[in-house]
Amino acid sequence: MEKKQFIHALQQAKKEAFAFSCNDFDVIISVGVLPSRHDEALLQALQNSDAKLVYLFSMEEASLIEKSAFFSRYEVGSEEGVFALLAKSFLLHVKMPHMIESYFEELDEGYLSAESNVGEEEIEVIEALYQKANKVLLLLGDDVIFHPRASHIAKLAGLIARYGKAHVMVVGATEADVSLNDSLEMMDEVADIKSFDGVVVYECPLKVGEKEGVLIGSSQFQMAAKVKENESIGVKIGEEVHACTFVKNETLKGVIGLMPCAKLGRAYPYHVVKIVK
């Protein structure tokens, strides 16, 4: 989904619902973005902000862990479930149309919590930070925009902005991308969360001075992928094999490898891959 389409799907009637900087917020809830890869200026803004940061992602962003008031690692592919849990929690005591109240009443929170790895305790901590804040920023990254369920994620995030106290910032978007939309469409059932079992890599932008052809991972990823440091391997995504050298990075945590690319597709960046030797 294009950023402009995603912003339209947020169903916001006023431009004031959107923000284009991290300034003047009490709490920032970041979902689906790896700032050190996607936006260095954003990373610096988050590090310098006085806001309490809630950082939700599939991996630890080492540059933000100490800064974060709360960090939770969700399962790859579970962003829609995470937003459903957040929206229900934030809007529980807010007057909304009957169809939306009924939708949240029927939500299978047990399934979503178990499959997303964001449980009741995590949601309670995030809600407490949200409720105490006067101004909340919901920061949405490319993992959300290019998710297969992006249009419904946008509806859920849009409800938080419409009926709650959050402003929305779509990473990389400008005021020219804002498309106002006063409609309120029927909600969809949250899709079953797809399992990403196996060796998983995350396609991400190159850093300045970096070249393609490397696969970066932690010691845990190295064990899962059964590769050696500086080993030349092939990373098979679908029918295409990418020649890479494995580079171990001890600042990374978990079993997801980073695969920097010069040109990123407009698709969900996580892939279950096969390592070819």
CATH number for position 206: 2.40.40.20
34 and 137 assigned to the same domain:
yes
Structure tokens at 197: 């079992």
Residue 190, in any domain of the structure: no
Pick from 177, 207, 223: which residue ends a domain? 177
163 and 235 assigned to the same domain:
no
Residue 189, in any domain of the structure: no
Cα dihedral across residues 63, 64, 66, 72: positive or negative = negative
Residue 184, in any domain of the structure: no
- Residues of the chain with pLDDT > 70, as a percent, come to 100
62-66, 85-89, 164-168, 257-261, range with the lowest pLDDT? 62-66
Checking if the pLDDT of 70 tops 90, the result is: yes
168 and 255 assigned to the same domain:
no
158 and 211 assigned to the same domain:
no
Pick from 177, 212, 227: which residue ends a domain? 177
Residue 195: CB atoms within 10 A of its CB come to: 12
User: How confident is the model over 123-138, as pLDDT tens digits?
Assistant: 999 999 999 999 999 9
User: How confident is the model over 191-223, as pLDDT tens digits?
Assistant: 999 999 999 999 999 988 888 999 999 999 999
Average of per-residue pLDDT values in the chain: 95
98 and 214 assigned to the same domain:
no
145 and 219 assigned to the same domain:
no
Quote the pLDDT of residue 264: 83
Provide the domain limits for residue 99: 3-177
Checking if the pLDDT of 73 tops 90, the result is: yes
Residue 259, in any domain of the structure: yes
Domain count, the chain: 2
Residue 188, in any domain of the structure: no
228 and 100 assigned to the same domain:
no
Residue 194, in any domain of the structure: no
Pick from 114, 143, 177: which residue ends a domain? 177
Residue 191, in any domain of the structure: no
Residue 131, in any domain of the structure: yes
68 and 147 assigned to the same domain:
yes
Question: What is the C-alpha separation between 179 and 162, in angstroms, rounded?
Answer: 15
262 and 223 assigned to the same domain:
yes
89 and 140 assigned to the same domain:
yes
Instruction: Render the burial of 247-273: b for 16+ CB within 10 Å, e for the rest.
Output: eeeeebbebbbbbbeeeeeeebbbbeb
Q: Give the bridge partners for 72, in sequence order.
A: 56
203 and 172 assigned to the same domain:
no
